[in-house]
């Protein structure tokens, strides 16, 4: 290593703390009540899956709940999110990202097929592909979540939240992508998206 390089290294600001998966797992016990023992969630609207969620996206969401930009006072209070340190939040997010449901038990990874006009949903999904990808797997590095790994009932509620201006989609408060969608359109979209879940692929 040459001297210039060493000097550069020494003058770098202290980097973010190294994540501690064991601590993340311990801290995540307070999430299990609603999100399931492994973060697998349940098919209802109020228990999204956390297992396998990219850490960057998850940290951003937790911050949004703490600031009240996403509304969920029960979660903030039950898990004392206001008083968890940033390092602990990083650890929890890294822990959930590392959970591989298929390895624990493939049944935990199942997403129910959603009834609805999947063919029409596929057409509507053309508007979403550039970001959430044709596969529905999103782009984790860009903070775009995988819709195909999430429960349709929860996603339905999120799309309503976007329509009602209670949650901001894609960091753009002016986003009009959902404005024209009827509830039937949303059902159709979800019917298509649910066919993209790994367990529903033929």
Q: Which parts of this chain interact with ligand HEC (CB under 6 A)? A: 30-31, 33-35, 46, 48, 50, 58, 60-62, 70, 72, 74-75, 78-79, 92, 127-128, 130-132, 143-145, 147, 150, 155, 157-159, 169-170, 177, 189
25 CB-side CA count, 13 A: 6
For CA atoms 17, 87, 97, 133, the dihedral sign is negative
| Among 24, 31, 37, CA closest to 78 | 31
What's the closest the beta carbon of residue 201 comes to ligand HEC, in angstroms?
19
What's the closest the beta carbon of residue 16 comes to ligand HEC, in angstroms?
18
Q: Which residues, 6+ apart, have CB-to-CB distance to 174 below 8 Å?
A: none
Q: Residue 60 or residue 110: which is nearer to ligand HEC going by CB? A: 60
Round to whole Å and give the CA distance between 114 and 194: 6
Round to whole Å and give the CA distance between 63 and 197: 28
Q: Residue 14 or residue 126: which is nearer to ligand HEC going by CB? A: 126
Q: Residue 26 or residue 169: which is nearer to ligand HEC going by CB? A: 169
Q: Residue 3 or residue 82: which is nearer to ligand HEC going by CB? A: 82
């Amino acid at each position: 290593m040459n001297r210039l390089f060493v000097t550069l290294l020494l003058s770098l600001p202290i980097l973010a703390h190294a994540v501690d998966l064991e601590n993340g797992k311990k801290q995540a016990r307070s999430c299990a009540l609603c999100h399931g023992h492994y973060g697998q969630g349940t098919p209802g609207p109020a228990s999204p899956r956390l297992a396998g969620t990219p850490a960057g996206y998850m940290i951003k969401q937790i911050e949004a709940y703490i600031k009240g930009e996403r509304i969920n006072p029960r979660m903030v209070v039950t898990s004392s999110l206001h008083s968890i340190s940033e390092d602990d939040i990083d650890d929890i997010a890294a822990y959930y990202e590392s959970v591989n449901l298929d390895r624990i038990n493939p049944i935990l990874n199942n997403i129910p097929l959603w009834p609805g006009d999947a063919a029409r949903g596929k057409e509507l999904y053309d508007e979403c592909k550039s970001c959430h990808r044709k596969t529905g797997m999103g782009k984790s590095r860009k903070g775009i979540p995988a819709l195909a790994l999430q429960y349709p009932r929860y996603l339905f509620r999120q799309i309503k939240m976007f329509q009602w201006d209670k949650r901001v989609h894609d960091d753009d408060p002016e986003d009009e992508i959902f404005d024209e969608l009827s509830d039937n359109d949303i059902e159709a979209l979800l019917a298509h998206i649910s066919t993209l879940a790994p367990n529903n692929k033929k």
